[in-house]
């Protein structure tokens, strides 16, 4: 049974989802599984408050939109009955031009949809 309750905030740069019936640690582990199964690795921080990266910034600069590069900051917060997950873009994708920017936006939307299944 999904623990997703609602999306509190969504815009072009980030989204925040609210969950209940799950602990912060369990949510952090589920989010980490989602990112790692999608090819991301932690480049800064630790599970629960981390920056995840997929692809290479250098390759993105050299080959533009032909090379994938995504960078997202992930943080979770807990209150008495709910856990909040915030995912924000840490790169605009501008090195890939308009196509690269669209790729980053589409990846943020994809992550938002996938995280609703937790």
CA distance 11 to 34: 21
CA distance 73 to 95: 19
Q: Which tokens is 88 given?
A: 């924000």
Give me the CATH number covering residue 73: 3.30.310
pLDDT digits (tens, 9 = 90+) for 10-28: 899 999 999 999 999 999 9
Residue 64's domain comprises 4-115
pLDDT digits (tens, 9 = 90+) for 76-100: 999 888 999 999 999 988 888 899 9
Query: How many domains does the chain contain in total?
Result: 1
DSSP-derived pairing of the beta strands 14-20 and 49-55: unpaired
> Does the reported pTM lie above 0.85?
yes
CA distance 103 to 71: 12
């Amino acid at each position: 049974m999904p623990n997703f309750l609602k999306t509190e905030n969504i815009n072009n740069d980030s989204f925040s989802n609210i969950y209940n019936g799950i602990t912060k640690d369990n949510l952090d582990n589920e989010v980490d599984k989602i990112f790692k199964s999608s090819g991301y690795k932690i480049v800064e921080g630790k599970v629960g408050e981390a920056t995840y990266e997929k692809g290479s910034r250098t390759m993105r600069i050299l080959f533009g939109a032909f090379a994938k590069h995504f960078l997202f900051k992930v943080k979770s917060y807990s209150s008495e009955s709910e856990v909040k997950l915030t995912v924000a873009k840490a790169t605009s994708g501008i090195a890939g031009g308009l196509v690269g920017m669209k790729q980053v936006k589409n990846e943020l939307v994809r992550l938002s949809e996938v995280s609703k299944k937790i």
